[in-house]
Structure 1
Amino acid sequence: MLLDSTFDINTKKLQSVNIPEETFRSIERFLFKEAKLLDQRNFWEWDKLFTESGMYWVPHKHEQDNPFDHISLFWENRMLREVRIRRVENSRNWSQQPQTQTAHLVGNLIVEGVDDQGHLVVSAVFQITEWRLKLRQLAGRYTYKLATQDDGNWKIQLKRVDLVNCNDVFENLEVFI
């Protein structure tokens, strides 16, 4: 999956869609739940929010078209997310002593449309306060491709994290943004 250039990362060429207020609120609750799981360091439950083929992407430059022609800060499938979770949660991991603590603020949710595979594309702005020995602020825009499940719940097919300062020199980005 990591090198599968057929994985659809497009979030621009979309069909417009009108959704009921109740659906909008369920998406909003889903994104708030995701932020809470990250803030609680409940990474295994957070990872379950993704589809089996779901990808987590943090581009390294503004307006980056894809993760294949340019380096990304993160381009992770399920296996790489699980490796990172195991590393972050390892009690001997010196870079997590003390553990990174975060507080996510998510807002300005917009339903962008539907892609060719029927995934609902939504975006939201975010701000994260992160602490591990010192405070750090991260901000930007999330773009999600959401798949509906048979039980009516949402799953993440793609989470794209566009940081305001994506091409900055970062200290370790240990936990998920």
Structure 2
Amino acid sequence: MLFSPTFDLSVAAVSQVEVTDALQQEVQRFLFREARTLDTRHFEDWLALWTPDGMYWVPHEPDQENARDHISLFWEDATLRDVRVRRITNARNWSQQPFTRTARTVSNVLIEGLDESGRLIVHSTLGVTEWRLDQRHLAGLTTHKLELQSGADGARWKIYLKRIDLVNSRDTFANLEIFL
């Protein structure tokens, strides 16, 4: 999936959706739950929030249109997300001793519309305070593409694409061990 030429990276809506109070609250709760899941290190629950073909993308360049033709800070499919979770949580991982602690703020949630496949495009602002041996703050504009999938326990939102455009994406970073 990493180099799939058919994966839809677009983040601009091609059609509108009626944004009811119920839909707005449901989407916000989903984003807040995702943030809380990461902050509490429930990585298995976080991995379950994704579609099987979902991609996690942190571009290197502002307004980068393509993850395949330019280097990215992160470009991860399900396998790479799983590998990184295993590495982060491995007791022998010296770079996570002590383990990284985070607190996220998700705000300015805006439901933009639908993409060509009917996925919901949601923009938000993200702030992450991270501490391991020192504290740093990361901030960016996030775009989620969400699919509503049916299951035995009803319909649930799943992440098809999570794109985080860090405000300082061109900086030199110390290890980015966390998922944003």
- Specify if TM > 0.5: yes
Identity, in percent, stands at: 51
Deviations 1:107-135 (A, max 9, x none): 10001110000000001001110001000
SS at match of 1:149: strand
Out of 165, 168, 175, the position equivalent to 2:168 is: 165
Matches within 5 A, 1:43-122: 43-122=43-122
- 1:125 corresponding residue in structure 2: 125
Provide the C-alpha distance between the structure 1 equivalents of 2:15 and 2:168, rounded to a whole number of angstroms. Answer: 30
Q: Cα offset for 1:34?
A: 0.2
Which runs of structure 1 show a deviation greater than 2 angstroms over 4 or more consecutive aligned residues?
Answer: none
Q: Cα offset for 1:13?
A: 4.7
Structure 1 contact 14–112 (Cα < 8 Å) conserved: no
- 1:29 corresponding residue in structure 2: 29
Deviations 1:11-33 (A, max 9, x none): 12521222221111000000000
Aligned residue type for 1:84: R
Provide the C-alpha distance between the structure 2 equivalents of 1:27 and 1:16, rounded to a whole number of angstroms. Answer: 16
Provide the C-alpha distance between the structure 2 equivalents of 1:24 and 1:110, rounded to a whole number of angstroms. Answer: 8
RMSD: 0.8
TM-score (norm: length of structure 1): 0.98
SS at match of 1:19: coil
Provide the C-alpha distance between the structure 1 equivalents of 2:29 and 2:144, rounded to a whole number of angstroms. Answer: 14
TM-score (norm: length of structure 2): 0.96
Provide the C-alpha distance between the structure 2 equivalents of 1:13 and 1:130, rounded to a whole number of angstroms. Answer: 32
Provide the C-alpha distance between the structure 2 equivalents of 1:4 and 1:13, rounded to a whole number of angstroms. Answer: 21
Provide the C-alpha distance between the structure 2 equivalents of 1:81 and 1:17, rounded to a whole number of angstroms. Answer: 30
Unpaired runs of at least 5, structure 1: none
Aligned residue type for 1:168: D
Provide the C-alpha distance between the structure 1 equivalents of 2:171 and 2:139, rounded to a whole number of angstroms. Answer: 13
- 1:176 corresponding residue in structure 2: 179
Structure 2 contact 113–120 (Cα < 8 Å) conserved: yes
SS at match of 1:153: strand
- 1:11 corresponding residue in structure 2: 11
